[in-house]
Amino acid sequence: MAFSCTNEIELVQVQNYGPTQGTSYQVSYLVPSGTTFQNKIDSILYAVDLNLSVWVETSGISKLNTGDTLRKRDYPLLVNVIDSSRKYFDQTDAFFDITIEPLIQLWGFYSKGGGIPDSARIDSVLKLVGWKHYHDNGKLIWLDEGSGLDVNGIAQGYSVDLIAEFLSQKGIQHFMVEVGGEVRAKGKNVDERIWRIGIDKPVEAIEYDRLQEIISLSNSSLATSGNYRKYKTDPITGKKYGHSVNSRSGYPEESDLLSATVLSHSATRSDAWGTAMMVAGLERTKEIMQSNKGLQAYWILTDRKGQWMVKTTEGFQFLLD
């Protein structure tokens, strides 16, 4: 299927997809027949892995977390993400905090099995958390021994923005970029309709009937955070602990908020804010959003009976079909 743009060049919708960052990506864009940017998109995602993937032992983030001092010029994507993360740390009243990596390791969210840490261990590890343990002298970056950074709450959104900006630089006016559920869209699809994006139900299993809502998205970004698929189970009590760890207390935050979907101008910002909201909870989120313009949100909560409830900002209502 194809349509013609204003200069009468016939455009077709190209789809590129594949694995990345432990999940998958999908990119759709309208270009003249025979054009594809698959190789360049894969190159961008490969560069992201070399900078940000904790699963790649030789990546910048892995080296930094194991005690190496890095030259900033060698890892520009990592430096960009760290700088952005510090900005969102300030904007979210410290609820978005990538210095929680020692706590993530302690709780074992990246591994299977293991018990639940006691309060003494948590208090000890908390001493390794905080931006005071990160150092940047303009040319080099390094961490204090035992400290670490966890950029998984922002890396996928950042990856989306890198690909979207590449397509924009190529003059592409119509595209949809999705990495691990984080999305940025521009223009329309080949049917001349605004891109339609689904918001998942907050359930552990990915089912056929998985979507809570479908929204129309153009010239903006969307990211969803939740604890329903990433959690730690106490082997003794069976209690589940979500991966949204509060860097103040050292414990995963427990609240009635099941998921937070954020709309903004960039996927990086949406991703970071969604992560922060799961830690802050709904009421505190509403307070800190008042001093941060350009954000819209869709929240799924549970009541005392376990029934789902939906709350949104006023601007988000206009996106719902």
Contact 18/24 with Cβ under 8 angstroms? yes
Per-10-residue mean pLDDT, the chain, length 321? 59 95 93 96 97 94 98 98 98 97 89 77 96 98 98 96 98 96 96 93 69 90 82 66 87 89 97 96 94 94 86 82 53
- Structural domains in the chain? 2-319 (3.10.520.10)
Output the pLDDT for position 55: 87
On the CB side of 93, CA atoms within 13 Å amount to 13
Dihedral, 91, 264, 44, 16 alpha carbons, nearest 10: 150
The pLDDT of residue 84 is 98
What pLDDT, on the 0 to 100 scale, is given for residue 238?
64
| Per-residue pLDDT, 228 | 64
- Residue 264 in contact with residue 272, Cβ under 8 Å? no
**Tokens 């021994």 appear where?**
145
Bridge-based pairing state of the strands 70-71 and 134-136: unpaired
pLDDT value of residue 314: 87
pLDDT recorded at residue 6 = 47
pLDDT of residue 166: 98
| DSSP annotation of 306 | S
Contact 21, 159 (CB under 8 A): yes
Token readout for 194 is 């605004």
How far, in Å, CA of 16 to CA of 6, rounded?
Answer: 25
